[in-house]
Amino acid sequence: TKESGAIRTTDNNGADRANVAIARNRAPINKLFERKGVDFSEPIFMRAIKDESVIELWAKAKRRDGYRLVKSYEICNYSGELGPKTKQGDLQTPEGFYQVQPWHMKPNSDFHLAFNLGFPNPHDRARGWTGSHLMVHGDCFSEGCFAMRDGPMEEIYTVATMNFEAGHGAFNFHSFPFRLTEKKLAAAKDHPWHGFWLAMQPGFKLFEREKRVPQIATNGGAYVASLPLKPQEIGKVSQLGSQKGRY
């Protein structure tokens, strides 16, 4: 999408379009979740891997602590190169740790259905990065957003809606240039954004190891990733600590 034109506020058909999509996808998604052994007891989690053109959907495994991969959706199109979005109009797709809230849902998008990623986040603002209306949307056309085909976008939109219906106030959306493994980071050591990717790696690694969505904070322009307490740990001193990535 063009950042200034990602949504249209005069489309009275947006709610109807969203309601039709949700009604069409609700039962299949319930069956998919049941088959995967996951539910909405905790918020869903999504992450984008740019170099694989994929958005992963994760959900809480029943009777287990960790999250489980539910489905991977092909990104039809995204604009820019690997690296974060830093200024309005650069046509880059964001990289970082974001939260999607109910008011980010955009049934009236010019691009079928959409939700806002929440860019800029506190880290982005601390670094003076600018931009607005950065979305995941349909219509397979992008000038700064993650563009999906309409069918997958309807599924993603429905899952997000069901997450909010379950009483969750937000869900996390993480966006990475690639899987931040030691091998891939070593291969990118001469890239101008290597330091920024190193700063995001602790959050990536915590989820890979624990299959629990890390808490992300910002401290002096640095990402700080730590695991949330398990219910049985509340009131006790956490032994998990935190891992800081500074850029």
User: Which residues does the annotation mark as catalytic?
Assistant: 137, 145
**Residue in the structure block whose two tokens are 């939260």:** 99
Q: If we measure between CA atoms, which residue out of 203, 221, 220 comes closest to residue 212?
A: 203
Angle at 97 between CA 139 and CA 64, to 5 degrees: 100
Report whether 191 contacts 240 (CB < 8 A): no
CA distance 200 to 225: 9
